[in-house]
Amino acid sequence: MKRRVTFVFDGDSPFEPDQAQVTNDSLLIRDLHAAKEDRATFSFTELPIELWQVLKQSHELHIRWAAELPYNATTPFSSRVSPGLHILFTPLAPGRLTQPLCQLLIKVFSDDLKCLAPEISFTIIPVLSQRFASNSSLQFYSLLPSLNGLVTYIQQKICRANTACLEHAASILSADSVDIDYDSISHSLIISGYFSKSPGNRGWTEKIRQREFGWDKVEVGLLELERATNPEELSMGGLLTVVGEDDKLKPTLFSFPSRHHPLPPNSVYRTAFTSPTGLHPTLKISIPRSSLSRPPAPHATCALHTYLTLPSSIFVDKYQLSTTDPLFLNSHNIAALRGISGATDLEAPDWLIPEWGSNILLELATPQHSVSGQEDWNITIPLHLRYLKPSESGYRVTSMPWPIVFWACTAEDGTKMSVNPFSRGNLGWDGNFGPRTMFFQLHPSDTGWDGTLVVRQVEELVVPVLPIREGGNQARNIELGTIAVIFVGCVWVLWKLSLILVPLTSGGRGSFAKQEQKNE
């Protein structure tokens, strides 16, 4: 087992040498205000049997979870996914999809996951080009507000009675995002947690030991973003140490190409449903004009995009959004529909949809003139609600995570986006672009249009459904009533047709008889 801990400072939180002290077998951190990534790497032999039995049937498995609360994504951890649980999976061989994967996911994360088997509940990720064939083939999503299930599973199956491990696993509950990665080449499982700040925002104070919980190697970095020479690169500088091997912190400075790059903190967007919603709600993405400035990518072609993750209860009309009608597109500030996958049936109710939902990638229009001004730039996306199961109240609540909004820019010819120490791919939306594309993500705003704090980056909709009253069976009555109306309607149509056909038949015969008599 290996552990890598990275602390990243920004300009507002300077680092003092006495805040990190190296000893023979530990590193003492005191009052450190910084973002933190904690990464653990496990081999097959260090995993529970039920876990590696599922993993050995997988070519690759990538799990991404993001919290519903707003948080700062510090560089080089600036990439984002919508709040909730995202799973990208490729089986070891076609046709070998097995139900144990869903059983394991339900056991580890939540009993509420809409997961029966990968071939039923997962959606197929479209391959837009053979250049992207290395991307995962299947995708799953669930709006999971907490990782209590994952923490419990780690504590019971991996930690057992190890106190240090139990405390380390419990810290996952305060993470802003968590990644779990496995591929059949390395045969290792990597769990990474990102924390934008320390719990309680008091600063990190902890003792990182080498031999605690049997770590083979523990690396710690205290880094800060530096000015890079090339626009497609990131540069980090600071101090590094290997706990238990080094007797002091060692200075370092390194650069690496990166697909994900930061934007200024004021590059934000807000999301909400326009009122009234009804069964055909409209999602509005509002971006301040100052946030629409072109990304710092000289000599690159850039376009603004949004990526929506829709549960099965909400869908888009792909025929409506794929139109080339400029009047429709301009009225919504949409440039084009670039990708759609998942449940796109326009008529099926929610309880007949086996998949978890759908993903939509839209290219957005931007102002053609100056970006200055007070009025926000608004994008509206027409959505539709499926019929949901009846309830006693006559209403059900469905939720949708905020989409992500980003610039996609082409890198210069010859740029090689090699794997870097903080590489984060397989986000679901990045596979729609070429391997040399650079991304600049806008930040979800932590305040609403009225200035109030955003508590959740999730929008809720109250959906009217059939009410279930005590002592009644409205669904059965409606079904019988529908059959009766159809039967009466058919009888009425046949009766009307008979009134037309009978005179025509009798009149035709009379004219034919008269013609015969005339001929004689």
Does the structure show a pLDDT above 80 at 132? no
pLDDT digits (tens, 9 = 90+) for 193-245: 999 999 887 889 999 988 777 788 999 999 999 988 888 889 999 999 999 88
Query: What is the band of 82 on the pLDDT scale with cuts at 50, 70, 90?
Result: very high
More confident residue, 425 or 145: 145
Does the structure show a pLDDT above 90 at 281? yes
pLDDT digits (tens, 9 = 90+) for 154-181: 999 888 778 888 888 999 999 999 999 9
pLDDT at 416: 65
Cβ atoms of residues 86 and 141 within 8 Å: yes
pLDDT digits (tens, 9 = 90+) for 88-131: 999 887 766 667 899 999 999 999 999 999 989 999 987 654 45
DSSP 8-state class, residue 331: H
In whole angstroms, give the CA distance from residue 181 to residue 189.
6
Q: pLDDT > 90: what percent of the chain?
A: 54
In whole angstroms, give the CA distance from residue 194 to residue 188.
20
Q: Residue 134 in 3-state DSSP?
A: coil
More confident residue, 8 or 435: 8
How many helices and strands, by DSSP H and E, does the chain display?
A: 8, 28
pLDDT at 434: 84
pTM above 0.85, yes or no: yes
Q: How do strand 2-9 and strand 217-226 relate by DSSP bridges?
A: parallel
Among 190, 237, 188, 241, residue whose Cα is nearest residue 76: 237
pLDDT at 130: 47
pLDDT digits (tens, 9 = 90+) for 444-454: 998 877 778 88
Q: In what order do the strands lie in the sheet with 443-444?
A: 377-382, 282-287, 268-273, 443-444
Write out the two tokens for 88: 């990208």
More confident residue, 414 or 30: 30
pLDDT at 229: 86
Write out the two tokens for 125: 């990720």
Q: Where do we find the tokens 């390194």?
A: 254
In whole angstroms, give the CA distance from residue 94 to residue 125.
14
Phi-psi region of 471 (alpha: psi -120 to 50; beta: other; left: phi over 0): left
Quote the mean pLDDT of the chain: 87
Report which residue type is found at 44. F
- Length of the chain in residues, anyone? 520
Q: How do strand 188-195 and strand 20-22 relate by DSSP bridges?
A: unpaired
Does the structure show a pLDDT above 90 at 399? yes
